[in-house]
Amino acid sequence: MNLQSNSEKVGISFDVHKIREDFPILKTKVRGKPLVYFDNAATTQKPRQVIERIKKYYEEENSNVHRGVHFLSEVATREYEAARETIRKFINAESTEEIIFTKGTTEAINLIANSFGKTFINENDEIIISEMEHHSNIVPWQLLREERKAIINVIPFDDNGDLILDDFEKIFNERTKLVSIVHVSNSLGTVNPIKKIIEIAHSFAVPVLIDGAQSIMHNKIDVQDLGCDFFVFSGHKIYGPTGIGVLYGKRDLLEQMKPYQGGGDMIRSVTFQKTTYNDLPYKFEAGTPNIEGAIGLMASIEYLNGIGIDQIASYENELLNYATEKISQIPQVKIIGTAKEKGPIISFVLENIHPHDIGTILDYEGIALRTGHHCTQPVMEHFKIPATTRASFSFYNTKEEIDLLIQGIQKVIKVFS
């Protein structure tokens, strides 16, 4: 893709208008207005390359994987495994055995809570999470807590949304079995210092799970450089299909962990007396997988590689800075989440106006925002608010769209004044 253009140069050669051509849905009109899609943290739009790759799979390659000797089954298996290799390279895992396909981030965390949990966590063992976790990184641990009588410790954050790590080392003891932490908060935008967290946890020989649902599409992820033991993300947040996600796990841990689900593909042999399990990664992939999803995810990663994740990160950072500056100029707005380092997410509240009213009025301007607790009720509780309005940006968004958002917010204030 040629990114040389003068249309929107943001310190780098990045032709956002050309990129937008790849996303058919961005041409949609909403209530007669051009769609402004700022709900990217909830899910991203799909480029034509992904849509067409999925279509090709169903038109030319559809078959079940791993179980057939016939031509189509071999093609489907080859493409499914090529997807695994594409993901391995993308996050720099050592081996494809460490790449397990799941339904998404939520299923990946549940898999770890069930499998790692049942293998390694016993009564009074401790798990560390943070106050800014998505519910999907809270509830699976609570379910485990109920079952195993384990203990959950929570790292707090300050009013900017930065984790308070001063006492982090003090939480560890010989019963600490896992740290499970979000990389980028979906409601505050905070980028957590995960490398430091991993280093500290490892100094106590405690493994670390990183919830990368909001970081995988904005940052270069190198799991070996990070040293994390698990890293999880969802395909649909990285311009791929829904219903597919990835669990990266270090091989030695995965090998020790019990299977999560039983069924086809995850076994080596079955008798009524005894079943032996398949090798990694298949041990954790029971049943027919989401073949189309894996192949679509491969296409989305190839698409992002074509642009360059560093280019994407710089441009999205420009959008974040631009939007933060503009929104901060509106006196009635309070930004929730002003951490030192942020992903392209702005949550805000407007004095005396409920976020759902803001979202509804802006929807009439064609602007798609998310309002609510964003599956982070403890974050809302911290700020004593019921909800926020959240704008989350992607590399296909423009500064002109941010200007429309600012005009929209001013309109909301006018309506309610």
Binding site for ligand PLP (CB under 6 A): 104-106, 134, 136, 182, 186, 211, 213-214, 234
Distance in Å, CB of 170 to ligand PLP, minimum: 26
Give the CA distances from residue 291 to residues 64, 242, 247, 398, in Å, rounded to whole numbers and listed in that order. Answer: 8, 12, 16, 34
Nearer to ligand PLP, 16 or 304 (CB): 304
Nearer to ligand PLP, 183 or 250 (CB): 183
Give the CA distances from residue 120 to residues 189, 204, 207, 210, in Å, rounded to whole numbers and listed in that order. Answer: 32, 16, 11, 18
Phi, psi of 273 (to 5 degrees): -85, -40
Distance in Å, CB of 86 to ligand PLP, minimum: 19
Distance in Å, CB of 363 to ligand PLP, minimum: 20
Question: Dihedral sign, CA of 146, 115, 106, 213?
Answer: positive
Distance in Å, CB of 380 to ligand PLP, minimum: 15
Nearer to ligand PLP, 53 or 134 (CB): 134
Distance in Å, CB of 274 to ligand PLP, minimum: 34
Give the CA distances from residue 400 to residues 36, 37, 100, 297, in Å, rounded to whole numbers and listed in that order. Answer: 10, 12, 40, 30
Place of tokens 């031509």: 71
> In the structure encoding, which two tokens stand for residue 9, read together?
């140069």
Phi, psi of 276 (to 5 degrees): -110, 150
Nearer to ligand PLP, 16 or 226 (CB): 226
Angle at 238 between CA 179 and CA 297, to 5 degrees: 105
Task: Sheet containing 151-155: give its strands across.
Answer: 99-102, 245-249, 230-234, 208-211, 176-182, 126-130, 151-155
Residue among 151, 375, 385, 406 flagged as catalytic: 375
Beta carbons of 8 and 398 less than 8 angstroms apart: yes
Query: What is the total residue count of the chain?
Result: 417
Beta carbons of 252 and 98 less than 8 angstroms apart: no
Residue 246 Cα to chain centre, angstroms: 10
Nearer to ligand PLP, 186 or 300 (CB): 186
Question: Dihedral sign, CA of 57, 62, 64, 66?
Answer: negative
Nearer to ligand PLP, 22 or 107 (CB): 107
Distance in Å, CB of 188 to ligand PLP, minimum: 10
Distance in Å, CB of 133 to ligand PLP, minimum: 8
Q: Does residue 375 have an active-site annotation?
A: yes
Task: Output DSSP code: residue 59.
Answer: I
Beta carbons of 49 and 302 less than 8 angstroms apart: yes
Phi, psi of 263 (to 5 degrees): 155, -160
Task: Output DSSP code: residue 192.
Answer: P
Nearer to ligand PLP, 16 or 294 (CB): 294
**Element (DSSP H or E) covering residue 285:** none
Q: What amino acid positions are annotated as catalytic residues?
A: 375
